[in-house]
A and B are shown apart, each in its own frame.
Chain A
Amino acid sequence: EAQVTQNPRYLITVTGKKLTVTCSQNMNHEYMSWYRQDPGLGLRQIYYSMNVEVTDKGDVPEGYKVSRKEKRNFPLILESPSPNQTSLYFCASSTGMAKNIQYFGAGTRLSVL
């Protein structure tokens, strides 16, 4: 089954404790992206990757890091989480063209205390 898998689904942590949210897709997609969803703001792009070893900032990259060492994986790293990073996070993948449908993971709900 074609899917984008995120882990964990729920995470509660404390300020400053490094964490990683994993994302993996099995559709051989070149393009992967991270979004955060906040009430009243919709989804905003954090980082994206057009292919292995190619990453770039989205609209809200501050406080986040990503890496793309393999085509299927695109982890999101919060080196020093802060309460304003409490949010619902989505990973997405597609074949990389504007017309193509982005497929989303199930989401990771993060709370930073």
Chain B
Amino acid sequence: AQKVTQAQTEISVVEKEDVTLDCVYETRDTTYYLFWYKQPPSGELVFLIRRNSFDEQNEISGRYSWNFQKSTSSFNFTITASQVVDSAVYFCALSEAKDTDKLIFGTGTRLQVFP
């Protein structure tokens, strides 16, 4: 069965610290897609990144980086030199090629960055 686990419910850091948000997924499909979304205090869901199951290259976008490891079924998200504006709930999600109907979300990790 498909499942996404975000074991960290809440993380607090001080500005400029690096922080990693963990995401572990389960799927039997060989073709799947992984996503990260950000939910700032205003409540909307903002797309951050998509990776497909055939592309294990890590990705960096500014202070954000993502580490995709199929061997451990993980898709972790690191924020370098965190800022107060990074405070949000972050969701990891999975969609499978054989089941295009849904996005399976983890329970989210609340990140609080203190000045």
A residues engaging B (CB < 8 A)? 31, 33, 35, 40-45, 48, 50, 56, 58-59, 88, 90, 92, 96-99, 101-107, 109
Contacts and interface: CB of A to CB of B under 8 A. Distances in A.
13 contacts: A40-B9, A42-B4, A42-B105, A42-B107, A43-B103, A44-B105, A97-B100, A98-B95, A98-B96, A98-B100, A99-B52, A102-B103, A103-B47
B59 to A, nearest CB: 15
Q: Is the interface of B mostly helix, strand, loop or mixed?
A: strand
- Of the four ranges (under 10, 10 to 19, 20 to 34, 35 or more), the interface on chain B belongs to 20 to 34
A26 B83 CA distance: 33
Contacts of B4: 42
Interface string B43-55: 1110100101000
Contacts of A59: 102
Contacts of A103: 47
